[in-house]
Structure 1
Amino acid sequence: VAVRGYRIDELMGRVPFAHVVYLVLKGELPTPSQGRVMDAILVSSVDHGATPPSVLAARTVASGGAPLTTGIAAGVMTINKHHGGAVEGCMRVLKEAVARKHASGEDALTVARELVAEYRAQKKRIPGYGHRIHKNDPRTARLFAICEEEGVAGEHIEMGQAIRQAMKESLGKDLPMNVDGAIAAVLCELDFPPEMGNGIFAIARTVGLTAHVFDEITNQRPMRRISPTAQEYSGPEERELPDRR
C-alpha cells in the first residue's frame, strides 16, 4: 500500500502526520521547515472550545443519539463561508493582491490600500480579519513567528499585514488577522491552491470534533438543551507545557 509513491509501512514511525498530510495533498514530502510550519497550521486549528458552529452542530446531533462519525460529519458540514471558510477566501484575496503587486510594481501597502478601497466601495468584507473573541489572536502571532524562524515568511504574509494596516487607516480601527487569515497567508507561502484551504482547516478541526462528540455521547444526558454561549469547562486548569526535547 503506497501513497504518492511512498510505502505507507515505511512512512509509519518515520514521517510525522503533518508531513504526510503535506505529502498527500501536494505530492512531495515537505522540507523540515515546511513540515514544521504545516504542523503548526494543523495544531492552530485543532479546537476552539464548545461554542463554534461546528461543535454546536456536532454535539446537537450526538445528543440526539447519532453515532460518533455522524456527529463528526455534522460538524464538518458547518465549515463553510463564515466558519473556517475564511481560509479559502483570504487565500484568494492575498494571491490576487500579490499578483497585482508584481504587475504594477507598487509596494505592498499601496496595493493593499487600493484593495481595501475597492472592497469598501462594494460594501464587501475582506475575509480573515477580526475575531468575535480575540483582539489579537495569539495563534496568528505564533504562526507567523514560526514562519520567520523557518524562512517560510514571504510576500503573502507581508501583504496580509499590509492589508491590516490599510484597513486600520481606512476604517479607523484595528482588525488584526485572525487564525483563518494567518493560515491563508501561510498556505499561500507553501503554494497550496485556495481550493484546498477549507479542507486543511477541516482536517485539523476533525480532531477536536471527535473529542467533543465523544464527550457528548459518554458524559452528557441525551437531548439536552445546548447553549451557544453558556458552556462550563470541566477539564484541567491551564498548565505549562513540559520540555519535549
Structure 2
Amino acid sequence: MTDSHKVECRVILITGASGGLGRALVWAFRATGSKVAAASRRSADADADDGVLAVPLDVTDAAQVKAAVESVLAKWGRIDVLINNAGVTADNLLPKIADEDWQRVLDVNLKGAFLCSQAVLETMMFNQRDGHIINISSFAAKNGHFGQSNYVAAKAGMVGLTQSLAKEAGRRSVRVNAIFPGVLDTPMTAHLTPGQKQQLAGANVLGRTTTVEEVAGFIVHLAGMRHVSGQVFQLDSRIGAWT
C-alpha cells in the first residue's frame, strides 16, 4: 500500500464529532484501524468503541482545548491528524445580526480552529516532526452566501489560516489543508426547505449534492497524503471563481 493510503493505526482528533459529518469521519477512520478522539460539546452522544475516545470539548475555550489535547496524548502518545470540523451558523441579514451571533459564529468556526491547531502544533512540529491538520471550510468562503456574512467571514478566515499555517509548519513536515465539503444532509442544513435543497442540487453540474460518506472517504484519503499542503479541495460540482 502506498504512503498516500497509510492511515491505519494513526491517532485522529476530530472536533464537532457528534454532528453529521463528524460521525461519518469517526467511523470512516475507525474502518482503517485508526484510533479516534471524538471531541464535541455533546461528547456523551458520540458513539464509542475501544478505539474511540469521547472527549468533551468547547473549542472556543482555550483551557478545554489544552486539556482535550493532553488527554489524547496521555492515552495514545501522539496526534497524527487534527480535523477542525466544529461549526455553527446564526444566519441573518448583516444589519440584523446581533453582536453575540456574529462573535459566536467566528469563535466556533475560526477561533476554534486556531486554538485546536495551536494546541497540537508543538507535538506535531517538534516531537513527531509529522502531522496533518484538515480544516472544514465552505464553498461560501469563495462565493459568499446571502444572509451568512458572519459564517462566510469565518470560513474565509479558515482558508487564510490554512495557507498561512501550511507555510509555517511545512518546514517540519506538517501538512495543512482545507475542505469545501458541499451542501450536506446534516443538522446544520435541516432548516432548508425541499425547494431550497433542490435549488442547491441544481447548482451542481452533476445535478446532485455530496453525501457525508463521500466527504469522509475523501478526507481519509487526504489524511494519508504526505506531499500535499496549503490546498483547498472542493468536494461537489459547483463551479465558481475567486473575485
Q: TM-score, normalised by structure 2?
A: 0.28
Q: TM-score, normalised by structure 1?
A: 0.28
Greater Cα radius of gyration, structure 1 or 2: 1
| More strand, by proportion | 2
**Relative CO higher for 1 or 2, CA cutoff 8 Å, sep ≥ 6?**
1
